[in-house]
Amino acid sequence: MLIGIDPLLTPDLLHALADMGHGDRIVLVDANYPASRGRRLIRLPGATITRALSAILGLLPCDTYVDDPAQIMQDVGDPDAVPEVVGEMNAVLAAAGWPKAVGVERHAFYEGAETAYAIVQTGERRFYGNVLLTKGVIAPDVTMPGDKA
Protein backbone atom coordinates (compact mmCIF):
# COMPACT_ATOMS: atom_id res chain seq x y z
CA MET A 1 0.00 0.00 0.00
CA LEU A 2 1.04 3.56 -0.57
CA ILE A 3 0.22 6.75 1.27
CA GLY A 4 -2.29 8.90 -0.58
CA ILE A 5 -3.13 6.23 -3.19
CA ASP A 6 -6.56 4.63 -3.05
CA PRO A 7 -6.03 0.92 -2.21
CA LEU A 8 -8.53 0.00 -4.95
CA LEU A 9 -5.92 1.05 -7.52
CA THR A 10 -3.99 -2.13 -8.24
CA PRO A 11 -0.37 -2.12 -9.46
CA ASP A 12 -1.57 -3.05 -12.96
CA LEU A 13 -4.06 -0.19 -13.00
CA LEU A 14 -1.54 2.33 -11.64
CA HIS A 15 0.92 1.20 -14.30
CA ALA A 16 -1.67 1.68 -17.05
CA LEU A 17 -2.64 5.14 -15.80
CA ALA A 18 1.01 6.20 -15.58
CA ASP A 19 1.81 4.84 -19.06
CA MET A 20 -1.07 6.66 -20.70
CA GLY A 21 -0.29 9.92 -22.46
CA HIS A 22 -2.57 12.85 -23.18
CA GLY A 23 -5.31 11.85 -25.58
CA ASP A 24 -5.14 8.18 -24.55
CA ARG A 25 -8.40 6.64 -23.39
CA ILE A 26 -9.30 4.24 -20.62
CA VAL A 27 -12.68 2.52 -20.34
CA LEU A 28 -14.38 1.49 -17.11
CA VAL A 29 -17.04 -1.14 -17.73
CA ASP A 30 -19.59 -3.25 -15.91
CA ALA A 31 -19.37 -6.97 -15.24
CA ASN A 32 -21.42 -7.85 -18.34
CA TYR A 33 -19.29 -5.90 -20.81
CA PRO A 34 -17.54 -7.97 -23.53
CA ALA A 35 -14.09 -6.96 -22.28
CA SER A 36 -12.35 -9.40 -24.62
CA ARG A 37 -12.84 -6.74 -27.31
CA GLY A 38 -10.12 -4.55 -25.77
CA ARG A 39 -6.34 -4.48 -26.08
CA ARG A 40 -5.53 -4.66 -22.35
CA LEU A 41 -7.86 -5.87 -19.61
CA ILE A 42 -7.57 -4.98 -15.93
CA ARG A 43 -10.09 -6.53 -13.56
CA LEU A 44 -11.54 -4.96 -10.40
CA PRO A 45 -14.25 -7.54 -9.65
CA GLY A 46 -15.04 -6.25 -6.16
CA ALA A 47 -15.57 -2.63 -7.20
CA THR A 48 -18.69 -0.81 -8.31
CA ILE A 49 -18.31 1.46 -11.32
CA THR A 50 -18.70 4.60 -9.22
CA ARG A 51 -16.10 3.46 -6.68
CA ALA A 52 -13.60 2.64 -9.42
CA LEU A 53 -14.37 5.89 -11.27
CA SER A 54 -13.84 7.95 -8.13
CA ALA A 55 -10.47 6.29 -7.42
CA ILE A 56 -9.24 6.73 -10.99
CA LEU A 57 -10.38 10.34 -11.32
CA GLY A 58 -8.26 11.17 -8.26
CA LEU A 59 -5.23 10.62 -10.54
CA LEU A 60 -6.46 11.16 -14.11
CA PRO A 61 -6.54 14.67 -15.60
CA CYS A 62 -9.37 15.52 -18.00
CA ASP A 63 -8.52 16.17 -21.66
CA THR A 64 -9.79 19.71 -22.24
CA TYR A 65 -8.84 19.65 -25.93
CA VAL A 66 -11.52 17.18 -27.03
CA ASP A 67 -15.25 17.78 -27.21
CA ASP A 68 -16.35 14.77 -25.17
CA PRO A 69 -13.65 13.56 -22.73
CA ALA A 70 -16.20 11.37 -20.93
CA GLN A 71 -18.60 9.15 -22.88
CA ILE A 72 -21.20 6.63 -21.78
CA MET A 73 -23.02 3.95 -23.73
CA GLN A 74 -26.59 4.94 -24.56
CA ASP A 75 -29.47 2.70 -23.55
CA VAL A 76 -30.19 0.56 -26.63
CA GLY A 77 -33.97 0.77 -26.22
CA ASP A 78 -34.09 4.44 -25.21
CA PRO A 79 -31.08 6.60 -26.16
CA ASP A 80 -32.43 9.53 -24.13
CA ALA A 81 -32.78 7.52 -20.92
CA VAL A 82 -30.47 8.27 -18.01
CA PRO A 83 -30.15 5.08 -15.98
CA GLU A 84 -29.50 5.54 -12.26
CA VAL A 85 -25.91 4.32 -12.63
CA VAL A 86 -25.25 6.98 -15.31
CA GLY A 87 -26.56 9.69 -13.00
CA GLU A 88 -24.23 8.44 -10.28
CA MET A 89 -21.26 8.38 -12.68
CA ASN A 90 -22.04 11.95 -13.76
CA ALA A 91 -22.06 13.04 -10.10
CA VAL A 92 -18.60 11.48 -9.62
CA LEU A 93 -17.34 13.16 -12.81
CA ALA A 94 -18.67 16.55 -11.66
CA ALA A 95 -17.06 16.18 -8.22
CA ALA A 96 -13.72 15.59 -9.96
CA GLY A 97 -14.14 18.63 -12.24
CA TRP A 98 -14.94 16.64 -15.38
CA PRO A 99 -17.85 17.49 -17.68
CA LYS A 100 -21.00 15.39 -17.81
CA ALA A 101 -20.58 12.22 -19.88
CA VAL A 102 -22.02 12.34 -23.38
CA GLY A 103 -24.00 9.34 -24.62
CA VAL A 104 -22.83 7.42 -27.66
CA GLU A 105 -24.49 4.60 -29.56
CA ARG A 106 -23.61 1.10 -28.30
CA HIS A 107 -21.47 -0.02 -31.25
CA ALA A 108 -19.67 3.34 -31.42
CA PHE A 109 -18.85 2.88 -27.72
CA TYR A 110 -17.49 -0.61 -28.47
CA GLU A 111 -15.31 0.81 -31.26
CA GLY A 112 -13.92 3.45 -28.90
CA ALA A 113 -13.22 0.83 -26.26
CA GLU A 114 -11.40 -1.41 -28.73
CA THR A 115 -8.82 1.32 -29.37
CA ALA A 116 -8.52 2.44 -25.74
CA TYR A 117 -5.27 1.95 -23.85
CA ALA A 118 -7.03 -0.30 -21.33
CA ILE A 119 -10.40 -1.63 -20.25
CA VAL A 120 -11.06 -1.80 -16.52
CA GLN A 121 -13.79 -4.33 -15.83
CA THR A 122 -15.52 -3.76 -12.50
CA GLY A 123 -17.98 -5.93 -10.65
CA GLU A 124 -20.81 -3.49 -11.43
CA ARG A 125 -23.98 -5.44 -12.23
CA ARG A 126 -26.26 -2.57 -13.21
CA PHE A 127 -26.75 -2.21 -16.96
CA TYR A 128 -24.98 0.69 -18.73
CA GLY A 129 -22.34 1.09 -16.04
CA ASN A 130 -19.72 1.93 -18.69
CA VAL A 131 -17.69 5.09 -19.23
CA LEU A 132 -14.86 5.99 -21.60
CA LEU A 133 -12.39 8.65 -20.37
CA THR A 134 -9.79 10.65 -22.31
CA LYS A 135 -6.67 11.58 -20.37
CA GLY A 136 -5.44 15.17 -20.45
CA VAL A 137 -2.22 16.83 -19.38
CA ILE A 138 -0.98 18.15 -16.06
CA ALA A 139 -0.02 21.80 -16.50
CA PRO A 140 3.45 22.92 -15.42
CA ASP A 141 1.96 25.35 -12.89
CA VAL A 142 0.22 22.56 -10.93
CA THR A 143 2.01 21.71 -7.70
CA MET A 144 2.73 18.00 -7.45
CA PRO A 145 3.63 16.05 -4.31
CA GLY A 146 7.39 16.19 -3.90
CA ASP A 147 7.83 19.45 -5.82
CA LYS A 148 10.38 21.80 -4.24
CA ALA A 149 9.03 25.20 -3.24
The catalytic site residues sit at: 22, 63, 110
* 109/104 Cα distance (integer angstroms): 6
Contact at 8 Å (CB) between 39 and 116? yes
Q: Which helix (H) or strand (E) holds 103?
A: strand 102-104
- Nearest-Å Rg of the Cα atoms of the chain is 15
Closest C-alpha to 27, from 15, 38, 18: 38
Buried b / exposed e over 109-128, threshold 16 CB at 10 Å, is bbebbeebbbbbbbbbebeb
